[in-house]
Amino acid sequence: LLTAVHKDFFRIVDYRELLFNDFGDRVAQILHVESVIPFWQNRNRKVQQEILIVNTHLLFPHNSSLSIVRLHQVYKILQYVESYQKEKKLNPMPIILCGDWNGSKRGHVYKFLRSQGFVSSYDTAHQYTDSDADAHKWVSHRNHRGNICGVDFIWLLNPIKDRKPLKTSWGEAVFSIIKYQLRSLVENDAFAFLKADGPGDYISFSGFCEALHQLGLRGHPYGLSAEETKDLWIEADIDGNGFVDYKEFQKRIWNPIWLERIEKYHEEGREGTEEQALGFNVKNAVLCPREVEKGMWPEDYSLSDHARLTVVFSPARMACPPTVY
């Protein structure tokens, strides 16, 4: 990986490397940068923009069992970003994630990042939605199998939302993978599979663990850990009685209904609780060669098997929740 910063515009405050030796032998770079030129004049103080930038290259999904590995890689990135912000006691600032994500808008990684409030800069610039109708409007890669797909993203998270807890988003994403792995089964049969040979009309913890093993989500070095499995079980067992009945299976796994966290503070008692932060608006985004913006790959393009994605951001001042560490 290479992340280049123009020294006339940005100063590197800190640099970290994140190794995925335990999750697919990949790597991520994390840069904390600060603008050299002030973005705003705040009273008598010049305000420099600070940004956290992550560059990565996720594992290619050679088979369905690698879905959990790729999700682990993104989860580890976001966990590290959170811990870095707490370690440095940073003020709210935008986070930019970029790189080859080796997955499309219909994948689990995309949905996981969207649940955390990240937006795809290219889709934002072109007003594309998360719907299936907009899933293939553009491509950025012709892979080794000859398939064309959109896998290169520059994600933006502005410091304006009360984000859903990271562990909650992680649980949702894993349950989504479980449902996808069981997609050939109807609802009753999927419940029976998770119930395994349990005596009652419920899923036991041991049956749940065995089902995860059969689905390829546990039992190998890159699979779910015992702690992660227990966390999932706690999410699924809504009433905490030690079993997951049919209604809990429906609510958490098959037809999940998750309580969304409120994105803005209630107006009551809000005065004086907001901070001013600097973020970004997506001004423009282009892919080159331009044919890929129409979902086509030009046969005469030989520079790379990836299209070049360029995004232009413009600074914006915005209100955000106060930072508490």
What pLDDT is stored for residue 269 in this prediction?
Answer: 38
Amino acid present at 307: A
What pLDDT is stored for residue 259 in this prediction?
Answer: 46
Is this structure's pTM higher than 0.85?
yes
What pLDDT is stored for residue 89 in this prediction?
Answer: 94
- If DSSP codes are grouped into helix, strand and coil, which group holds residue 19? strand
What pLDDT is stored for residue 295 in this prediction?
Answer: 94
What pLDDT is stored for residue 45 in this prediction?
Answer: 65
Q: In the chain, which stretches have pLDDT less than 50?
A: 259-271
Give the integer Cα–Cα distance in Å for 154 and 110.
12
What pLDDT is stored for residue 221 in this prediction?
Answer: 75
* Cis peptide, bond prior to residue 61, ω within 30 of zero: no
Give the integer Cα–Cα distance in Å for 296 and 137.
9
What pLDDT is stored for residue 116 in this prediction?
Answer: 94
What pLDDT is stored for residue 39 in this prediction?
Answer: 73
Residues 104, 135 contacting (CB under 8 angstroms): yes
Structure tokens, 267: 């107006």
Sorted by where each starts, the structural domains of the chain and their CATH numbers stand as: 10-164+263-320 (3.60.10), 169-254 (1.10.238.10)
What pLDDT is stored for residue 277 in this prediction?
Answer: 82
What pLDDT is stored for residue 196 in this prediction?
Answer: 82
What pLDDT is stored for residue 266 in this prediction?
Answer: 34
- If DSSP codes are grouped into helix, strand and coil, which group holds residue 210? helix
The 10 Å CB-count burial string (b at 16+, else e) for 73-84 is bbbbbbeebeeb
Backbone angles phi, psi at 179, to 5 degrees: -65, -40
What pLDDT is stored for residue 60 in this prediction?
Answer: 86
Torsion angle (degrees, nearest 10) of CA 22, 23, 25, 27 = -100
Give the integer Cα–Cα distance in Å for 89 and 306.
37
Strands (E), the chain: 10-20, 26-35, 40-42, 45-47, 50-57, 95-100, 119-120, 141-142, 148-149, 152-157, 275-288, 308-320
Q: Please calculate the CA angle 297-66-187 and round it to the nearest 5 degrees.
A: 100
Sign, Cα dihedral of 204, 228, 210, 185: positive
Q: What is the DSSP string of 245-276?
A: -HHHHIIIIIS----PPPSS--STT-TT--EE
What pLDDT is stored for residue 129 in this prediction?
Answer: 95
